Amino acid sequence: MSTGERDTIAEPTVEATADNGTTNRKQPFPQGFLDTISTGWSERPETLPAPRSQAPYAAVRRAAVSAAFPGKRLVIPAGSLKQRSNDTDYVFRAHSAFAHLTGWASDSEPDSVLVFDPSDSGHDVTLFFRERADRTTTEFYADATVGEFWIGPRPSLAGVAADLDIATAHLDGFRSVEGELVLDVDDALTRFVSELRLIKDEFEIAEMRRAVDITAQGFDDIIRELPAAVAHARGERVVEGVFHRRAREDGNGEGYDTIAASGPHACYLHWTRNDGTVVPGDLILVDAGVEADSLYTADITRTLPVSGSFTDVQRRVYETVREAADAAFEAARVGVRFRDVHAAAMKVIAERTAEWGLLPVSAEEALDADKGGQHRRYMVHGTSHHLGIDVHDCAQARREMYYDGILTPGMVFTIEPGLYFQIDDLTVPAELRGIGVRIEDDILMTEDGPVNLSAGIPRTADEVEAWIARLHA
């Protein structure tokens, strides 16, 4: 049965529902059904699990939040289901701060609430959620949103308490209190939990390595299926679908909408329509990342020659972008300002576009902080962003902690310079128009310098050509 048919059995009543134009798909339950539905079920003994590996890390994060807001009642909601159309919802994903502080990830329950109640020891923390309904209740068989007859087994309070190593209570017991701080309502709480994620712990780093490894397999899958993409009228959708299969098979899904931008579409920074052809001789820019079941995501971009080899012009653009990426990587050192990583990449972009005669000024003039920027026409986005449980992680952090922050061991961020020459850009030679290139890697900052978590995915033009040849052999 499709999700669109999920409420063909609906009202727990013998009487037919009045036809008011909104319940025409709901049928009444016969008396025999009502007399027997609650009987004949076997017992469901529950073996409580040991705490999951993330539980102790989440406890440390909660302790940091408690220490930052003494005497304050804090409420961090997971969020609710979001309607997609009529009686269908989008797949639920808990708010990132909720997941970060509970350790509850892809298996979390909609409408759950994490509450910090002030106490003599700091805070008493309770996770409120709607426990599964007993099979003697109408919710079990009649509620298409939470009923187990419809959506399958749901967790118990005791099971979640053991799994997450946290106190739990039924959602019916949650009461809002005047003056409490609610995430996404109170700026201070939102900012703090965002800044808390700037430094990743061991669990987070391991999960991000896992997400990168699965993403690498997804890129291999894409290359193997490039001939199928070329043969299809909407080849970009083929690429998107191939990656989606890997993301769902080995992870929770994608961390963001896949960009499969072939030919001139590669010049659109967030092209997610993915309805274009994949044409031999063109480049295809693929920006994709697998989200692990823990909700931590990779964010990788590779630009691939559809025919298997770069033209001279494509190679020149590609290797310039790689040069910029390598310069940014070399600039990333403990104690350096985060924004200096971007500056290192942009210096290369300015120098090369000036050499090619694309700028009306010199590279030095283009790099002037007040009067320059001419080279930014061909790369309008930033070079780096923090990465983690959100693809653009820590986004509510203060500027002095983010763009002006100091690189510190445990930070994970992207390096992703690009060059984009729009198909109708008359400031560039015809041979460049329609070429878009981006190379993006995920970087872990350590005491000894940056570590490229995605270095195993081919990066240089020669490596990319060899990669395609090997997988097409």
Counted residue by residue, the chain has a size of 473
Please report whether residue 41 resides in a domain. Answer: no
d(Cα 441, Cα 381) in Å, to the nearest integer?
Answer: 15
From the number of C-beta atoms within 10 Å of its C-beta (0-12, 13-18, 19+), residue 24 rates as: exposed
Please report whether residue 294 resides in a domain. Answer: yes
Extended strands (E) in 201-264 = 253-254, 259-262
Structural domain total, the chain: 2
Please say whether the beta carbons of 360 and 374 come within 8 A.
yes
Please say whether the beta carbons of 423 and 264 come within 8 A.
yes
Instruction: Looking at the structure, tell me whether residues 102 and 121 fall in a common domain.
Output: yes
Is a pLDDT exceeding 90 seen at residue 20? no
Instruction: Looking at the structure, tell me whether residues 112 and 207 fall in a common domain.
Output: no
d(Cα 335, Cα 326) in Å, to the nearest integer?
Answer: 19
Q: How confident is the model at residue 157 (pLDDT cuts 50, 70, 90)?
A: very high
CATH of the domain at 215: 3.90.230.10
Host domain of residue 137: 3-10+25-34+48-196
Instruction: Looking at the structure, tell me whether residues 128 and 265 fall in a common domain.
Output: no
Q: What is the average pLDDT value for the chain, to the nearest integer?
A: 94
Residue whose C-alpha is closest to residue 192's, from 396, 436, 439, 32:
396
Please report whether residue 281 resides in a domain. Answer: yes
Please report whether residue 71 resides in a domain. Answer: yes
Percent of the chain with pLDDT strictly greater than 70: 95
Residue 363's CB is within 10 A of a number of other CB atoms, namely 19
Instruction: Looking at the structure, tell me whether residues 214 and 262 fall in a common domain.
Output: yes
Is a pLDDT exceeding 60 seen at residue 42? yes
d(Cα 40, Cα 31) in Å, to the nearest integer?
Answer: 17
pTM: 0.93
Kindly report, residue by residue over 414-455, the tens digit of the pLDDT: 999 999 999 999 999 999 999 999 999 999 999 999 999 999
**Residue range 80-107: mean pLDDT, rounded:** 96
Question: For 378, phi and psi rounded to 5 degrees?
Answer: -100, 0
Domain finish residue from 166, 181, 196: 196
Q: Which residues pair with 437 in a beta bridge?
A: 419
**Residue range 68-79: mean pLDDT, rounded:** 98
Please say whether the beta carbons of 115 and 128 come within 8 A.
yes
Instruction: Looking at the structure, tell me whether residues 100 and 160 fall in a common domain.
Output: yes
Domain finish residue from 140, 168, 196: 196
**Angle of helix 187-196 relative to helix 55-68, nearest 10 degrees?**
140
Kindly report, residue by residue over 217-276, the tens digit of the pLDDT: 999 999 999 999 999 999 999 999 999 999 999 999 999 999 999 999 999 999 999 999
Residue 398 CB partners (closer than 8 Å, separation 6+): 191, 195
Residue whose C-alpha is closest to residue 54's, from 199, 158, 195, 166:
166
Is a pLDDT exceeding 90 seen at residue 2? no
Please report whether residue 40 resides in a domain. Answer: no
Kindly report, residue by residue over 413-423, the tens digit of the pLDDT: 999 999 999 99
Pairing assessment for the beta strands 418-421 and 290-291 based on DSSP bridges: unpaired
**Residue range 315-344: mean pLDDT, rounded:** 98
CATH of the domain at 169: 3.40.350
Q: Which residues pair with 300 in a beta bridge?
A: 288
